[in-house]
A and B are shown apart, each in its own frame.
Chain A
């Protein structure tokens, strides 16, 4: 038979054989020593690589002037080095010098600029003097590369001249230089540049002298090309010498020190800014927002926001060492085993972008991720697979115990709450009757059960807006809310439902009915749709039915819920707040009157519109006081007012349990700072051994599948052959 007459089935068989051969060759090519299901590319030889993941979406911004989300600080805090940082081990959280030789020198000035005492009433300004270390050095980067004449090598006149460069590694030459005080000044000027759009512009303009004027000045300038901000002065900034600068702020604001530990105040070299303003660079995503340039322990080696981000050790990073002291218990927990050793320990960190929890969790269990998460511990819904409730509380599931996985519990410096709208005609107000109504609802809502049922106990009941680890948080009887709990035998015991009913009756709602109209009391809960489900709604309805109160839910998306809060169109709403810095001011301002959206007609943080003159006055005093007994007593009084007025229905501090594979060390979690990658140590050989042991493929299903296919095909083939050979008579039969 000629080839062109060959019947199609034979052609198909030939193609199929060819495909099979290709598949076998590819399969054999894959049969190296690594497991078949290994999703990672092999690390370059000899480099200690930390394998991790980020959940859902990649970071949007890595420009230190813009980046604010915690997912983003996971990267910016490894690449940039702000003036201050946090002690890795000590609790309560402690600020320590980062890029500085010591903590900033603080001096106070009157309105004429004369230095006065700290407690002088004429204090109009505070000046911070920052002394930089002399060994700070930028990472190698093409922005610093110079040609033979000493001019920047990569400055292009046209977009076409630089069009062959698509990523930073495409540039053949790099350079570097020491960090100067002016780089910090330049970075603060960038915060003020409205074209950059820093979220800090509005907030910091209230404090840094001359920032608003600077912003208005540069806003009026033509921006068709790069604007060298060094040509314009900001009154509150001064470069004293190459390693010293001063920042002057309006009035007193002790919390300003905490802001100096955030990436917003990291150095940015003017030549880096100039480099990224090359024509056409932004069209190829060559921007500071995607390719940060810093002096921190790591540099950005690869930024593929579609799949992975790779950091590598910055060869120019200053001398840095693992801390030699921590909080009590750290020595026993092994957190000081590396004390005094040079850091960072890992050479490379790979962060894969994971969209789905099953994949993320499976890869962690297979040993392809070193830890169960960075910003969040493990995906919701998989918690019950990881843990079980044992004699000592939450314990690891047997599967995890076999893998020698360790746990790192972490109480986050955050508070989640359901708040009352204090301007609501039913639950709001400051009369004794209204307080009793709110307290009755507080008592009825069993927060302990709520956490146990819906969060597997992952949370601590909050009786105070200030979470653990932050000054002002109280434990024991002093930490108990006496309007909701009684102290019985050394334990806080929630007041009885009968007492809640009594309070409700005294509030004018006997048995949950208005004593004038006879109408049942119905409360409305505004919650974000994704934060509520039928089970939770049923539980809440049942909880309040104990005191005869009816509940109606008004779920909506984030934008609509926010809109309701801004317009005061809520009765009870859910909200959460994570600390920017470890100071009670950062939580107590959630109740500060002028922060109420209806008061300020702005997106204020006091969503319940709580207004108490005494509280506001105390807050104003407290926010400018340094840490100490005087401040503590003001904080305690404010907390008492918060409890007395029953401002929130309930609140809790979220806790998480991070999991670590056995080859990862120094896993202590830091609730505030993400600059902790440099402390992490891994054992790559142990990891490779375990990955091989845990991931041996099970090939029997392949053989079984082949057999099933044959078993299915065989009767068909037999029937077909019989049919082909059948005579007309046999076929009819």
Chain B
């Protein structure tokens, strides 16, 4: 297994380079270094000298990909792409365009992201699996058809509707929890109730429907009929027989997401004022802070690759017949 993991980690290098190149190209297609300078310096009294000075100070005074004025390997290394990308592989994210240390910001902001994402993820999976198993129990009944209809309806509704609806009803009209905000100390959990509730409810439609499909495939297997014939209760059949056997497709969907929980959620964090990495990314895009965007995309790619490796490893745990070679 170790060989497999090492091999996968090596595969990750060209992927990360590709992601980096793509991010870099996309960003600079719409933003030139001059645009970034103006954005950072403000719209007034921006002289060409000030723009040049900003670019020099922040390392944007070189060509993007190829430096014809440099000799030898300098033609490639003395470029913005090389200078800004290479250090990412050493996990040196540098400073944002406004001068803040990105590593410090990320290490501070990941905790609020986790505070929302982990309970939403865990409770969401638990609720979805329970609901799906219960629906499977009533498969092919009128109740089952109605519930599937409700799932499809819930899937079709925009995530924004759940957020704004939740804020309007629970926080504004009923005044049960704060509408937004976050404090790292004190009663921080009361700021999490609504975002977690919204995250869970918004995910029930698609999540439970997906798990229902997986469980139904297992529910028609011979071992289920055997268990039922032996007198096992429906609850026992669902939780002890069907659930473990449906784990592989479930793990495919969820283990890959676990590392990405660090990254937070763009919408949830923005609407609920959670100072996590999701809103960090959104602010960076708005303010054209390429240093942050680049770092966050890089971290996101790494976490996704780690998620895929963890998924493969989890298969061996869920199904002892599988071996990673």
Are A and B bound to each other? yes
CA distance in complex: A603, B272 (Å): 39
Report chain A residues within 8 Å CB of B164. Answer: 358
Q: Which residue of A lies closest to B96 (CB)?
A: A60
Are B108 and A39 interface neighbours, CB within 8 A?
no
**Does chain A have a CB within 8 A of B273?**
yes
A39 to B143, CA, bound (A): 41
Give chain B residues whose Cβ lies under 8 Å from the Cβ of A287.
Answer: 99
> Which of B138, B175, B176, B177 has the most A CB atoms < 10 Å from its CB?
B175
List A contacts of B180 (CB < 8 A). Answer: 39, 354-356, 359, 363
Q: Is B181 an interface residue (CB 8 A)?
A: yes
**Which residues does chain A contribute within 8 Å of B240, judged by CB atoms?**
7-8
B25 sits at the interface (CB 8 A):
no
Which of B35-43, B60-68, B77-85 lies at the binding interface? B35-43
How far, in whole Å, are A152 and B247 apart by their CA atoms in the complex?
Answer: 63
Residue A253 is within 8 A (CB to CB) of chain B in the complex: no
Per-position binary interface string of chain A over residues 338-379, scored 1 when its CB falls under 8 Å from any chain B CB and 0 otherwise: 000000000000001111101100110010000000000000
Whether A29 is near chain B, meaning CB under 8 Å from some CB there, is yes
A290 at interface (Cβ–Cβ under 8 A)?
A: yes
Flag if A194 contacts B53 (CB, 8 Å).
yes
Question: Is B183 an interface residue, CB under 8 A from the partner?
Answer: yes
Does B57 lie at the interface of the complex (its beta carbon under 8 Å from any beta carbon of A)? yes
Chain B residues with CB below 8 A from A723, complex form: 234
| Interface flags, B219-260, vs A, CB<8A=1, else 0 | 000000000000001111001100000000000000000000
Q: Mark B155-198, 1 if CB is under 8 A from A, else 0.
A: 00000000010011101111111111111011101110000000
Complex CA–CA separation, A728 to B66 (angstroms): 78
- Bitwise, B106-134 to A at CB < 8 A (1) or not (0) is 00110010000000000000000010001
| In the complex with contacts A7-B239, A60-B287, A36-B175 CB distance below 8 A | yes
Inter-subunit contact B275/A580 (CB<8 Å)? no
Residue in B50, B99, B105, B171 whose CB lies within 8 Å of A37: B171
Q: Which residue from B39, B46, B103, B109 sits with its C-beta under 8 Å from A199?
A: B46
Shortest CB-to-CB span from A604 to chain B, Å, is 10
A374 to B282, CA, bound (A): 23
Do A702 and B46 contact each other (CB < 8 Å), given the known contacts A37-B171, A355-B271, A356-B271? no
Chain B residues lying within 8 Å of A35, measured Cβ to Cβ, are 175
Closest Cβ of chain B to A369, distance in Å, is: 11
Q: Is the CB of B176 within 8 A of A697?
A: yes
How many residues in A have their beta carbons less than 8 Å from beta carbons of B? Answer: 67
For the A-B complex, the count of residue pairs with Cβ-Cβ distances under 8 Å equals: 180
Q: Are B273 and A195 in contact (CB under 8 A)?
A: no
A441 to B188, CA, bound (A): 57
A38 touches B178 (CB 8 A): yes
Is there contact, CB below 8 Å, between B190 and A36?
Answer: yes
How far does the alpha carbon of A199 sit from the alpha carbon of B168 in the complex, in Å?
A: 43
Contact residues in A for B218 (Cβ distance below 8 Å)? none
B45 adjacent to chain A (CB < 8 Å) = yes
Q: What is the minimal beta-carbon distance from B119 to any residue of chain A, in angstroms?
A: 11
Contacting A562 at CB < 8 Å: which of B38, B112, B239? Answer: B38
Please, how many residues of chain B have a CB less than 8 angstroms from a CB on the other chain? 74
Contact A304 B175 (CB under 8 A): no
Q: A36-B176, A304-B275, A356-B270 are in contact. Are A57 and B283 (CB under 8 A)?
A: yes
Main SS at interface, chain B: helix
- Tell me whether B177 and A37 are in contact (CB under 8 A): yes
Contact B104 A283 (CB under 8 A): yes
Q: Specify which of B35, B47, B112, B234 is in contact with A720 (CB 8 Å cutoff).
A: B234
CA A374 – CA B247 in complex, angstroms? 53
Verify if B316 is at the interface (C-beta below 8 Å from A). Answer: no
User: Does A626 sit within 8 A of B, measured CB to CB?
Assistant: no
> Is residue A197 contacting chain B, with contact meaning CB distance below 8 A?
yes
Q: How far is the CB of B159 from chain A (nearest CB, A)?
A: 14
Q: How far, in Å, is B206 (CB) from chain A's closest CB? A: 20
Chain A residue numbers with a CB within 8 Å of B182 are: 307
A26, A287, A305, A697: which has the most chain B beta carbons within 10 Å?
Answer: A305
For residue B274, give the distance in angstroms from its CB to the closest CB of chain A: 9
| Residue A285 CB within 8 A of the other chain | yes
Determine if A61 and B98 form an interchain contact, defined as CB atoms under 8 angstroms apart: yes
- Give the complex CA separation of A362 and B100 in angstroms: 32
Bound: A362/B170 CA distance, A: 12
> Counting CB contacts under 8 A, is B321 at the interface?
no
Looking across the interface, which residue of chain B has its beta carbon closest to that of A287?
A: B99
* B175 close to A366 (CB less than 8 A): yes
CB pair B273 A359 closer than 8 Å: yes
- B51-105 interface (Cβ within 8 A of A): 53-54, 57, 95, 98-101, 103-105
| Other-chain contact of B44, A38, A356, A580 (Cβ < 8 Å) | A580
- Knowing A356-B273, A359-B167 touch, does A716 contact B134 (C-beta < 8 A)? yes
Nearest chain B residue, comparing its CB with the CB of A562: B38
Residue contact B191 to A203, C-beta cutoff 8 Å = no
Is A567 located at the chain interface by the 8 A CB criterion? no
B325: Cβ under 8 A from any A Cβ: no
The reply to whether the CB of A47 lies closer than 8 angstroms to some CB of chain B is: no
| CB pair B273 A698 closer than 8 Å | no
Interface flag for A239 (CB, 8 Å): no
Query: Do A698 and B101 have beta carbons less than 8 Å apart?
Result: no
Known A202-B50, A306-B109; judge A362-B273 contact (CB<8 A).
no
Inside 8 A of B32's CB, which chain A residues have their CB? 559
When distances are taken between beta carbons in the complex, the residues of chain B under 8 Å from A633 are none
- Could you say which residues of chain B place their CB within 8 Å of the CB of A354? 180, 273
Q: Which of B49, B175, B190 contacts A30 (CB 8 A)?
A: B190
Cβ-based interface call for B311 (8 A): no
Q: Give min CB distance, A448 to chain B, whole Å.
A: 28
Nearest CB to that of A59 among chain B residues?
B98
With contacts A559-B35, A697-B174 known, is A7 near B100, CB below 8 A?
no
B50 touching A199, Cβ below 8 Å? yes
CB-CB contacts below 8 Å: B281-308 with A: 283, 286-287
**Least Cβ distance of A398 to chain B in Å?**
17
State whether the Cβ of A502 lies closer than 8 Å to any Cβ in chain B: no
Interface 0/1 of A691-733, CB less than 8 Å to B: 0000111110110000000000001100110011000000000
The answer on a CB contact under 8 Å between A559 and B38 is yes
Whether the Cβ atoms of A197 and B57 lie closer than 8 Å is yes
Instruction: Tell me if A647 counts as interface (CB < 8 A to partner B).
Output: no
Q: Does B213 contact A (CB under 8 A)?
A: no
Our pick among B176, B179, B187, B189 for the contact of A359 (Cβ within 8 Å) is B179
Say whether A688 faces chain B, with CB atoms less than 8 Å apart. Answer: no
Any chain B CB within 8 A of the CB of A24? Answer: no
* B20: interface (CB < 8 Å): no
Rounded to whole angstroms, the CA-CA distance of A194 and B178 in the bound complex is 46
Contact B179–A195 (Cβ < 8 Å): no
- Taking CB atoms, residues of chain A closer than 8 Å to B99 are 61, 282, 287, 289
Q: Which of A61, A197, A362, A724 makes the CB contact (< 8 A) with B179?
A: A362
Interface check A284, CB cutoff 8 A: yes
A61 proximity list for chain B (CB < 8 A)? 98-99
B270 touches A355 (CB 8 A): yes
Closest chain-A Cβ to B281's Cβ sits at a distance in Å of 13
A394 on the B face (CB < 8 A): no
The reply on B48 being an interface residue by CB < 8 A is yes
Nearest opposing residue in chain A for B58, CB measure: A197
Q: Identify the closest chain A residue to B282 (Cβ).
A: A355
With both beta carbons as reference points, the residue of chain B lying nearest to A605 in the complex is identified as B44
Give chain A residues whose Cβ lies under 8 Å from the Cβ of B283. Answer: 57
Asked whether, in the complex, the Cβ of A355 is within 8 Å of the Cβ of B279, the reply is: yes
Given the complex of chains A and B, what is the CA–CA distance between A8 and B236 in angstroms? 7
Given contacts A201-B50, A701-B174, contact A724 B101 (CB under 8 A): no
Chain A, residues 290-314, CB within 8 Å of chain B (1/0): the string is 1000000000000011110000000
A selection of 6 A-B contacts at a CB cut-off of 8 Å is A68-B42, A285-B100, A306-B275, A306-B280, A359-B273, A719-B138
4 more CB-based (< 8 A) A-B contacts, given A199-B42, A358-B271: A36-B176, A197-B53, A203-B45, A701-B176
Q: Which residue numbers of A lie inside 8 Å of B, CB to CB?
A: 7-9, 12, 26, 29-30, 35-39, 41, 56-57, 60-61, 68-69, 194-195, 197, 199-203, 282-285, 287, 289-290, 304-307, 352-356, 358-359, 362-363, 366, 557, 559, 562, 580, 602-603, 695-699, 701-702, 715-716, 719-720, 723-724
